[in-house]
Amino acid sequence: MTTMATPQTWSPEVFTDAVGDAVWAPSIHNCQPWRFRHTGDGVDVLLDEHRVLAACDRYGRMARMSCGAAAYNLRLALAMAGLPAQYRFGAGRTLLHLWPDRPRRPAPLESRLYQQIHHRHTNRGPFADTAVDTAASHRLSEAARREGGWLDFVTDDAPLDVVAGLVRAADAQLRADPAYTAELRAWSIAADDRVEGVGPAAAGAAPHPGELLTRRDFGGPVLEMTRDPARRPAVAVLGVLGDGFDDAVRAGMALQRVLLTAADLGLTTALYSQPTEVPALRERLRRTVDRLHDPQLVLRFGYAPRTCYTNRRPIADVIEP
Ligand SMILES: Cc1cc2nc3c(=O)[nH]c(=O)nc-3n(C[C@H](O)[C@H](O)[C@H](O)COP(=O)(O)O)c2cc1C
């Protein structure tokens, strides 16, 4: 009698541990709009539609990006368990379905990126005046490319001024909308021990009119910072080859691979999505980098002392029965 080999899949323990890594992804306002489901033959990454930010993310693009970033962590964690994932995009609130590929040892690069999951964080403090070398920026662009994205560094003064102007204009335009500011206040939490939102330690100081790229105002204190010390900031624009629902998830996976690569290079990162939240300014950003598809995010890389981490909700809250 011949016995059929049972297809190997992830155990519930491996799944739960991997979700524990996935949730350390970045998410817009730290809203953590993800859920995960073990389907028996694989794993689904789902959008938690109740957590899509109505004012700044009406169509859920940034929520999908956030889920894509979590999915990239999940893929790394599953690969570390010796059973890497293949994936396909889903439908409705199921954004991705993952199923096991052939068992293998994790690649050295996967191990390195995996180790950065719990070290990476968004840094809203001042960056040092230390240039990011071109070898590092090439590695970052390559990281985006490996996940189907593009990451264009804006190195010349004139386009850099344009990008800075677009971030500033977008931030001002967004702040003029009472629904946007109310939503931002709701996610700018007063205490650092909350499990979601951005607390005082992670928020950094209030944005200063003299800074190069206007940071989103999470309610930090007003400080006497008159100018940004970095003379040659490393600013880049991230995108993918499309602007549909799946493209946003793909952009999130590309984003997370870029962020973990940056952490692996000893770099810190700041994120600026404001110009992608105002359609006319997003179009101008697209023309500035001369790409066919709308950009997904502006990033800044550099060197800075580690600031504070944000927290995450308990794993039980994000696992679907
Ligand atoms: C799609 C997306 C857009 C974001 N936009 C901004 C932004 O405009 N300004 C900002 O300070 N942080 C931004 N962030 C970073 C989140 O606020 C941050 O990931 C979250 O608070 C969790 O903190 P952590 O990244 O330190 O883990 C963005 C993150 C994502 C995924």
**Domain end: 55, 89, 119, which one?**
119
Two tokens at 223? Answer: 């400080």
- Same domain, residue pair 202 and 276: yes
- Same domain, residue pair 47 and 111: yes
Which residues are within 8 A (CB) of 73 and not within 5 positions of it... i.e. 6 or more apart?
A: 21, 22, 23, 24, 25, 117, 256
CATH number at residue 205: 3.40.109.10
β-bridge mates for residue 272, sequence order:
298
Which residues are within 8 A (CB) of 71 and not within 5 positions of it... i.e. 6 or more apart?
A: 22, 45, 87, 95, 96, 98, 249, 252, 253
The alpha-carbon radius of gyration of the chain (Å, integer) is 19
Measuring from atom 20 of ligand 1, which residue has the nearest CA? 30
Sign of the C-alpha dihedral computed for residues 286, 202, 205 and 183 taken in this order: positive
DSSP string computed for 63-79: HHHHHHHHHHHHHHHHH
What does each C-alpha distance from 223 to 149, 183, 209, 241, 279 come to in angstroms? 37, 24, 11, 40, 32
- Same domain, residue pair 171 and 64: no
Residue 313 lies in a domain: no
Check residue 165 and report its DSSP letter: H
Residue 310 lies in a domain: no
Residue 180 lies in a domain: yes
- Same domain, residue pair 115 and 138: no
| Ligand 1 atom index nearest CA of 66 | 31
pLDDT of residue 175: 97
Structural domains of the chain, count: 2
Identify which of 64, 20, 26, 27 has the alpha carbon closest to the alpha carbon of residue 45. Answer: 64
CA gap 272, 297 in Å, rounded: 6
Q: Of all helices (H) and strands (E), which one includes residue 299? A: strand 297-302
Q: For residue range 268-306, list pLDDT tens digits in order.
A: 999 999 999 999 999 999 999 999 999 999 999 999 988
Residue 36 lies in a domain: yes
Q: For residue range 219-264, list pLDDT tens digits in order.
A: 988 877 656 667 789 999 999 999 999 999 999 999 999 999 999 9
First vs last C-alpha separation in the chain: 37
**Mutate which of 258, 273, 278 to test ligand 1's pocket (most atoms within 8 Å of Cβ)?**
273
CA gap 206, 214 in Å, rounded: 10
What does each C-alpha distance from 180 to 199, 231, 275, 296 come to in angstroms? 18, 32, 14, 19
What does each C-alpha distance from 164 to 61, 168, 232 come to in angstroms? 22, 6, 13
Distance 238 CA to ligand 1 centre (A): 14
**Domain end: 56, 85, 119, which one?**
119
- Same domain, residue pair 61 and 158: no
pLDDT band with cut points at 50, 70 and 90 for residue 7: low
- Same domain, residue pair 153 and 293: yes
pLDDT band with cut points at 50, 70 and 90 for residue 2: very low
Residue 28 lies in a domain: yes
- Same domain, residue pair 215 and 109: no
CA gap 209, 168 in Å, rounded: 9
- Same domain, residue pair 245 and 106: no
- Same domain, residue pair 39 and 78: yes
pLDDT of residue 189: 87
CA angle 195, 319, 297 (to 5 degrees): 60
Q: For residue range 154-181, list pLDDT tens digits in order.
A: 999 999 999 999 999 999 999 999 999 9
Two tokens at 37? Answer: 């489901």
**Which residue range is the domain that position 161 belongs to?**
134-302
CA gap 179, 147 in Å, rounded: 34
| Ligand 1 atom index nearest CA of 259 | 25
Residue 129 lies in a domain: no
- Same domain, residue pair 177 and 295: yes
Within 6 A (CB) of ligand 1 lie 26-30, 62, 65-66, 69, 121-122, 124, 198, 202, 215-216, 271-274, 297, 309-310
Residues 268, 262: contact at Cβ < 8 Å?
Answer: yes
Q: For residue range 47-99, list pLDDT tens digits in order.
A: 999 999 999 999 999 999 999 999 999 999 999 999 999 999 999 999 999 99
Residue 315 lies in a domain: no
Two tokens at 205? Answer: 């100081």
Residues 253, 147: contact at Cβ < 8 Å?
Answer: yes
- Same domain, residue pair 189 and 276: yes
- Same domain, residue pair 152 and 262: yes
Residue 298 lies in a domain: yes
